[in-house]
């Protein structure tokens, strides 16, 4: 049984809920970043919701995903709780990574989420590795590596796909082609119309689907999952999509015009899916408005929680370097600690 | 623990290469989640023949030949370690580490910390280092300082057959990423190796290989044996204590400091380049803790900031060896 059954009304409703949750979460993350409450950078997923939710809909809940710098949508699609996600964005002790990761490194390994990633192209090798563990221990799972169109130009991505393909590992590579890598359009990065054509080099299926259509993504990933579980190796799924916001918040977007953005907004993944559900008679506009209001309220609660929950103690900075902590950490911490340290700042 | 105490168990004489292979074999037997991956570790038996025979014994699932993709398999090993298995990677030559450095420094080293301690990474990376076989600059480097320097990684570097086996096994049993740096010139060196299947060398424990009163020589890898030879030849003139730190990070500062408190003199001998490195770290810790015990300036023996040249007379010129250790001792004793 897949995580969400898009053939059932309940499954479709839940998929819609997750897409709306991603949008509401990222809208608030953008606002709070603009207010200066969230440190660092944030890369928003708005416009690309159908890719993350469509992919995760076709996974089992214990499957793995390795994400990217644009990872909030993947987290919510995988079922992570926006409350602890927001706390992580705020750098709080109760965040998924106890405040040590932030937006670019949110992870919940127990939930199968192997981390957002600050390094473009670093996720696919990790997904190949998760697929190796699965294969080695004969587990009934798959691993998805998400990557952007820009990341397709990275060497380690191709090494990872080649390895997974050579070993027939249960991996799926989902290329989120949002048509830009920062400010550089995809045509200036690749001499290919379809990035999924790169799959040919590894003799694995490569398909390009409409990434604004959740069912198209979900179907392609479901097929890829079946293939992976049958022992036939990886698949590359390229989802054509678009990010409405800048590369990161604060991007002035000199590389595109409003008209282009509008053209993509006309195919909005949430609006179009919602309209389909209304057409089928399983949702009304009022119900949708209520759903959205309810989700937005829950995101407000998440923000409030993130604002109010405690920051980590400074001394936590010295924890979690290793499973078995070497004496060096205590040694140097004793000198560096702002609270003077256990031994009054002495080396010995 | 002194090296002597460790050997007060049942032992067998074998080479460093055999000791590592025995360590790998025992761990493969002990834990099904352990497997070897790397270029030509399988049928070929490893270019320096360390994994020879293991493919026949354990099969292709557990002794896996990879494509020539250091970034790809280093990343895969990291992802695999985070998801329930215990890969042991062979990186053919440590000079190739740069090719895989992204996955090492940004994923393997940082995941546990960035995720707030919620991912464990039981991955071992074995690799070969060192000059002396005319392999020229791209196959003779000594890069362990990079790893010892980089937070989130542990680095060990055996100097004897016993520690080669014990450290390999400890690395594989560790739930942290551990790099094992094997000097390629000592694979044929023999020594006594404990036969107990649970013999390990705890990561972070130095061994006093020889006791002495006048000078402490902290030596690593090939230079452990060479320093012991020098110490024997100086017997009667200078009493030399030889310590093999075995683990570079964490470093057993206490054992080294105790020794210097006794001798008052220190030579640090390690094949890595001299500037900004392993020698500097050991010397700094000693002066932090035993400044007033020092009777002479600390001496360093290492590669004089050159690459390894190809031609034998050039290579011998820069490769640190017993004559350099002897000269360093004589400068201060
Ligand atoms: C190895 C590396 N190079 C460069 C960067 C800086 N950078 C961050 S995101 C990005 C663009 C990535 O484009 P793409 O893969 O298409 O993902 P998108 O941002 O469009 O989702 C760049 C260049 C980085 N983080 N890592
Ligand atoms: Mg892009």
Contacts of B67 in chain A (CB under 8 A): 159, 162-163, 166
Query: pLDDT category, B163, cuts 50, 70, 90?
Result: very high
CA–CA separation, B263 and B300 (whole Å): 16
Structure-token match 């490893």, residue found: B46
Q: Is A347 on the interface with B (CB under 8 A)?
A: yes
Query: pLDDT category, B238, cuts 50, 70, 90?
Result: very high
Q: Is A323 on the interface with B (CB under 8 A)?
A: yes
CA distance A109 to chain B (A): 6
Mean pLDDT of B194-220: 97
CA–CA separation, A241 and A327 (whole Å): 49
- How many angstroms separate the alpha carbon of residue A73 from the centre of ligand 1? 16
| Shared fold status for B3-194 and B207-332 | yes
- Could you name the CATH architecture of A9-312? 3-Layer(aba) Sandwich (3.40)
* Structure tokens belonging to residue B321: 């060896």
| pLDDT at residue number A341 | 54
Structure-token match 């100086």, residue found: B234
Q: Do A125 and B250 touch (CB under 8 A)?
A: no
* Option in A98, A156, A331 nearest B75 (CB): A156
- Please, which contacts does A226-230 make with residues 24 or more away whose CB atoms are closer than 8 Å? A228/A131, A228/A142, A228/A169, A228/A170, A228/A171, A228/A172, A229/A140, A229/A142, A229/A170
Q: What is the mean pLDDT of chain B?
A: 96
Angle subtended by helix axes A123-136 and A155-166, to nearest 10:
20
Q: Do B154 and A322 touch (CB under 8 A)?
A: yes
Q: Is A309 on the interface with B (CB under 8 A)?
A: no
- Could you name the CATH architecture of B207-332? 3-Layer(aba) Sandwich (3.40)
| pLDDT at residue number A343 | 46
CA–CA separation, A155 and A157 (whole Å): 5
- How many angstroms separate the alpha carbon of residue A157 from the centre of ligand 2? 15
Structure-token match 């014990």, residue found: B166
Closest residue by Cα to atom 5, ligand 1, is A120
Contact B19, B165 (CB under 8 A): yes
* Option in B78, B115, B176 nearest A322 (CB): B176
Query: pLDDT category, B4, cuts 50, 70, 90?
Result: low
CA–CA separation, A287 and A80 (whole Å): 24
Q: Which of A17, A38, A14, A16 is nearest to A28 (CA)?
A: A38
- How many angstroms separate the alpha carbon of residue B150 from the centre of ligand 2? 31
CA–CA separation, A217 and A50 (whole Å): 7
| pLDDT at residue number B2 | 58
* Option in B73, B120, B204 nearest A163 (CB): B73
Can you give the residue ranges of every domain in chain A? 9-312, 314-348
Contact A207, A235 (CB under 8 A): yes
| pLDDT at residue number B323 | 97
Q: Do B116 and A126 touch (CB under 8 A)?
A: no
CA distance A274 to chain B (A): 35
Contact A344, B196 (CB under 8 A): no
Above pLDDT 90, what percent of chain B? 97
Q: Where do the H-state alpha helices sit in chain A?
A: 9-34, 49-57, 72-77, 82-89, 123-136, 155-166, 214-229, 258-265, 269-279, 285-308, 327-336
Can you give the residue ranges of every domain in chain B? 3-194, 207-332
Q: Which of A81, A143, A114 is nearest to A302 (CA)?
A: A81
Q: What's the per-residue H, E or C state across A107-159? A: CEHHHCECCCCCCCCCHHHHHHHHHHHHHHCCCCCCEEEEEECHHHHCHHHHH
Closest residue by Cα to atom 6, ligand 1, is A120
- How many angstroms separate the alpha carbon of residue A264 from the centre of ligand 2? 15
Instruction: Kindly provide the residue ranges of all beta strands, DSSP E only, lying in B141-282, ordered along the sequence.
Output: 154-156, 178-183, 190-194, 207-210, 215-219, 240-244, 247-249, 266-273
- Ligand 1, pocket residues at CB < 6 Å: A 69-70, 118-120, 148-151, 178, 180-182, 247
CA distance A84 to chain B (A): 13
The CATH number that domain B3-194 falls under is: 3.40.50.970
Which is more confidently placed, B324 or A340?
A: B324
Contact B103, B74 (CB under 8 A): yes
Q: Do B115 and A101 touch (CB under 8 A)?
A: yes
Contacts of A101 in chain B (CB under 8 A): 114-116
Mean pLDDT by 10 residues, chain A (348 residues): 88 98 98 96 97 98 98 98 98 98 97 98 98 98 98 98 98 98 96 97 98 98 98 98 95 94 97 98 97 98 98 95 96 82 46
Find residue B86's DSSP bridge partners. Answer: B34
Mean pLDDT of B316-330: 98
Mean pLDDT of B283-299: 97
Contacts of A156 in chain B (CB under 8 A): 71-72, 75, 102-103
DSSP-assigned letter for residue A266: T
CA–CA separation, A149 and A179 (whole Å): 7
């Amino acid at each position: 049984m897949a995580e969400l059954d898009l053939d059932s009304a309940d499954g479709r409703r839940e998929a819609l809920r997750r897409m709306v949750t991603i949008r509401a979460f990222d809208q608030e993350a953008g606002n709070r970043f603009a207010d200066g409450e969230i440190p660092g950078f944030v890369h928003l997923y708005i416009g690309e919701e159908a890719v993350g939710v469509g992919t995760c809909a076709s996974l089992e809940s214990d499957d793995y995903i390795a994400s990217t710098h644009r990872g909030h949508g993947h987290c919510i699609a995988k079922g992570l709780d926006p409350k602890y996600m927001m706390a992580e964005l705020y750098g709080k002790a109760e965040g998924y990574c106890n405040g040590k990761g932030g937006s670019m490194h949110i992870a919940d390994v127990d939930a199968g989420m192997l981390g957002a990633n600050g390094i473009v192209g670093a996720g696919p090798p990790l997904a190949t590795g998760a697929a190796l563990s699965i294969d080695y221990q004969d587990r009934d799972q798959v691993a998805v590596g998400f990557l952007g169109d820009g990341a397709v130009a990275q060497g380690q991505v191709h090494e990872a796909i080649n390895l997974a393909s050579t070993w027939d590992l249960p991996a799926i590579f989902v290329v989120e082609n949002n048509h830009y890598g920062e400010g550089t359009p995809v045509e200036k990065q690749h001499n290919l119309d379809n990035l999924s054509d790169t799959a040919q080099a590894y003799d694995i299926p490569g398909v390009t689907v409409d990434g604004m259509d959740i069912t198209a993504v979900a179907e392609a990933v479901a097929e890829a999952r079946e293939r992976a579980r049958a022992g036939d190796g990886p698949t590359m799924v390229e989802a054509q999509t678009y990010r409405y916001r800048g590369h990161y918040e604060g991007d002035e977007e000199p590389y595109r015009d409003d008209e282009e953005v509008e053209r993509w907004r006309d195919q909005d993944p949430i609006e179009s899916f919602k309209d389909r559900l209304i057409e089928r008679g399983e949702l009304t506009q009022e119900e949708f408005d209520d759903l959205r209001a309810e989700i937005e309220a829950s995101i407000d609660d998440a923000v409030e929680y993130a604002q109010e929950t405690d920051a980590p103690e400074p001394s936590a900075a010295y924890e979690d370097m290793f499973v078995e902590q070497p004496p060096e950490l205590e040694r140097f911490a004793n000198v560096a600690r702002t609270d003077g340290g256990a031994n009054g700042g002495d080396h010995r | 623990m002194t090296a002597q105490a460790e050997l007060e168990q049942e032992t067998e004489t074998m080479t460093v290469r055999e000791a590592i292979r025995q360590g790998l074999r025992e761990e493969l037997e002990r834990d099904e989640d352990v497997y070897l991956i790397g270029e030509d570790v399988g049928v070929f038996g490893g270019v320096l023949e360390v994994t020879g025979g293991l493919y026949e014994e354990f099969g292709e699932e557990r002794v896996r030949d990879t494509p020539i993709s250091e970034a790809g398999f280093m990343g895969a090993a990291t992802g695999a370690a985070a998801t329930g298995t215990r890969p042991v990677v062979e990186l053919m030559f440590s000079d190739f580490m740069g090719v895989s450095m992204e996955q090492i420094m940004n994923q393997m080293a940082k995941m546990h910390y960035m995720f707030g301690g919620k991912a464990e990474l039981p991955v071992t990376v074995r690799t070969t280092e060192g000059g002396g076989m005319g392999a020229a600059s791209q196959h003779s480097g000594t890069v362990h300082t990079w790893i010892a320097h980089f937070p989130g990684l542990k680095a060990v570097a055996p100097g004897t057959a016993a520690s080669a086996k014990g450290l390999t096994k400890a690395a594989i049993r560790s739930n942290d990423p551990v790099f094992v740096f094997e000097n390629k010139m000592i694979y044929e060196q023999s020594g006594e190796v404990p036969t107990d299947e649970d013999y390990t060398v705890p990561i972070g424990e130095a061994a006093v290989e020889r006791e002495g009163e006048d000078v402490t020589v902290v030596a690593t890898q090939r230079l452990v044996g060479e320093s012991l030879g020098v110490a024997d030849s100086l017997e009667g003139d200078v009493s030399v204590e030889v310590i093999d730190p075995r683990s570079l990070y964490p470093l057993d500062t206490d054992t080294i400091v105790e020794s210097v408190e006794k001798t008052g003199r220190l030579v640090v001998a390690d094949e890595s380049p001299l500037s900004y490195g392993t020698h500097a770290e050991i010397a700094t810790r000693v002066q932090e803790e035993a400044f007033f015990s020092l009777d002479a300036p600390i001496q360093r023996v290492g590669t004089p900031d050159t690459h390894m040249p190809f031609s034998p007379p050039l290579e011998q010129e820069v490769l640190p060896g017993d004559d350099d250790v002897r000269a360093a001792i004589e400068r201060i004793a």
